[in-house]
């Protein structure tokens, strides 16, 4: 008689341990991208410590596949990346103009995701996707959109995204006067600073169209660099600007706040992963 309760006592912790382990496995497989990154390295303690810290995990059962195109599905589809290399900031010119770059001039194995505009559409799951999959993003916002939907962009900012400058009125700047361009660039920077408490340091001209007045005005408004892009992403498809059709180190991928942004983010992550690169935050490399 006395042996049976003792055996039960011994068995219960074993079962509990098995449940905890399977829960951790579920985390690493579906909902906790940081663990998935860690799991690539020989670090057996990474997953259990993530669970023990009380990090909320996905409510889904580990045996049920997430619904197609649900947040959990997108997170599960996101590739696993090695850590981004320690940033080696690119030197900036001192000639009174901001540099204009299609891609960041670096050979470090990183690429950059940028999201433009903000007025057209703001899919509700995007802030959660960015936070849960740890996607580094730079948002080039028009200041009226940032004003109207500040809370949405603050959510992305809280998930690690950075707000940058894309003018007030989204008109082409090329050929316009210095005073017009300066008003569009400085005015937007001032407004974004009042909304988010931090001045933007990067600028993207609408349609990528600029002239030498643009880079001078951007510099005079405190912008460190003016960015074009090397790939565009729309409705889940990456369009390359070069015949090699591969993301190269320093490349800048452009997408927009449009209805298919979840698919665009996922497509960008997959393309960066296929190239053997890691998505990184542009601001870390331009200082």
Q: Is 164 in the site for Zn ion (CB under 5 A)?
A: no
Residues 185-214 touching Zn ion, rule: CB under 5 A, are 206
Comparing CB distances to Zn ion, the nearer of 38 and 188 is 188
Chain residue at closest Cβ approach to Zn ion: 116
Minimum distance from residue 84 beta carbon to Zn ion (Å): 26
Strands 110-117 and 137-141: parallel
Residue 132 makes contact with Zn ion by CB under 5 A: no
117 binds Zn ion (CB under 5 A): yes
Touching Zn ion, residues 205-264 (CB under 5 A): 206
Least distance from Zn ion to the Cβ atom of residue 169, Å: 11
Binding mask 75-114 for Zn ion (x = CB under 5 A): ----------------------------------------
Site string for Zn ion, 30-69 (x = CB under 5 A): ----------------------------------------
Binding window for Zn ion (CB under 5 A); candidates: 51-59, 117-125, 186-194, 237-245? 117-125
Question: What are the tokens at 168?
Answer: 């007030």
| CB of 167 or CB of 213, closer to Zn ion | 167
Q: Which residue lies nearer to Zn ion by CB, 72 or 145?
A: 145
Q: Which of 116, 157, 164, 264 binds Zn ion (CB under 5 A)?
A: 116
Residue 207 CB, nearest approach to Zn ion (Å): 7
> What one-character DSSP code corresponds to residue 43?
-
- In whole angstroms, the minimum distance from the beta carbon of 208 to Zn ion comes to 9
Residue with structure tokens 């565009």?
232
- Token pair recorded at residue 232: 């565009």
Three-state secondary structure call for residue 257: coil
Measured from the CB atom, is 127 or 206 closer to Zn ion? Answer: 206
What's the closest the beta carbon of residue 146 comes to Zn ion, in angstroms? 13
Token couple for 206: 């609408």
- C-alpha–C-alpha distance, residues 222 and 273, integer Å: 33
Shortest CB 257 distance to Zn ion, Å: 10
The footprint of Zn ion on this chain (CB under 5 A) covers a number of residues equal to 3
> Which of 232, 235, 132, 223 shows the shortest CA–CA distance to 181?
223
Please state the closest distance from residue 213 (CB atom) to Zn ion, in A: 19
| Closer Cβ to Zn ion, 136 or 206, answer by number | 206
Per DSSP bridges, beta strands 162-165 and 110-117 are: unpaired
Give which of 170, 111, 107, 116 is closest to 138, Cα–Cα: 116
33, containing H or E segment: helix 33-39
Contact 64, 192 (CB under 8 A): no
> Which is nearer to Zn ion, 30 or 114 (by Cβ)?
114
Residue ranges with strand state E in the chain: 100-101, 110-117, 137-141, 162-165, 202-203, 225-227, 231-234, 237-240, 252-256, 278-280
Taking each helix axis from N to C end, the angle separating 178-196 and 212-220, rounded to the nearest 10 degrees, works out to 40
From first CA to last CA, the distance across the chain in angstroms is 73
Rounded least distance, CB 215 to Zn ion, Å: 18
Helix orientation angle between 178-196 and 150-158, rounded to the nearest 10 degrees: 70
Contact set with Zn ion (CB under 5 A) = 116-117, 206
């Amino acid at each position: 008689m006395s042996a049976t309760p003792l055996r039960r006592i011994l068995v219960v912790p074993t079962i509990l341990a098995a449940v905890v382990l399977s829960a951790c496995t579920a985390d690493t497989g579906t909902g906790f991208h940081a663990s998935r990154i860690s799991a690539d390295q020989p670090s057996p303690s990474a997953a259990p410590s993530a669970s023990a810290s009380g990090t909320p995990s996905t409510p889904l059962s580990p045996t049920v596949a997430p619904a197609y195109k649900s947040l959990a599905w997108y997170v599960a589809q996101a590739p696993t990346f090695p850590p981004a290399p320690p940033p080696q900031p690119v030197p900036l010119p001192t000639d009174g103009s901001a540099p204009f770059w299609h891609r960041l001039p670096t050979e470090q194995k990183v690429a950059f995701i940028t999201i433009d505009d903000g007025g057209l559409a703001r899919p509700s799951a995007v802030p959660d996707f960015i936070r849960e999959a740890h996607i580094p993003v730079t948002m080039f916002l028009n200041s009226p959109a940032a004003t109207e939907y500040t809370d949405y962009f603050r959510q992305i900012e809280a998930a690690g995204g950075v707000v940058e400058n894309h003018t007030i009125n989204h008109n082409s700047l090329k050929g316009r006067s210095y005073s017009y361009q300066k008003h569009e660039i400085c005015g937007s920077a001032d407004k974004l600073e009042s909304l988010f408490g931090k001045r933007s340091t990067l600028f993207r001209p609408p349609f990528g169209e600029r002239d030498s007045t643009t880079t001078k005005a951007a510099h005079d408004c405190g912008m460190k660099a003016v960015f074009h892009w090397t790939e565009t992403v729309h409705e889940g498809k990456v369009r390359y600007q070069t015949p090699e059709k591969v993301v190269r180190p320093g490349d800048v991928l452009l997408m927009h706040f449009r209805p298919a942004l979840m698919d665009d983010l996922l497509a960008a992550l997959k393309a960066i992963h296929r190239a053997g690169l890691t998505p990184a935050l542009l601001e870390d490399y331009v200082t």
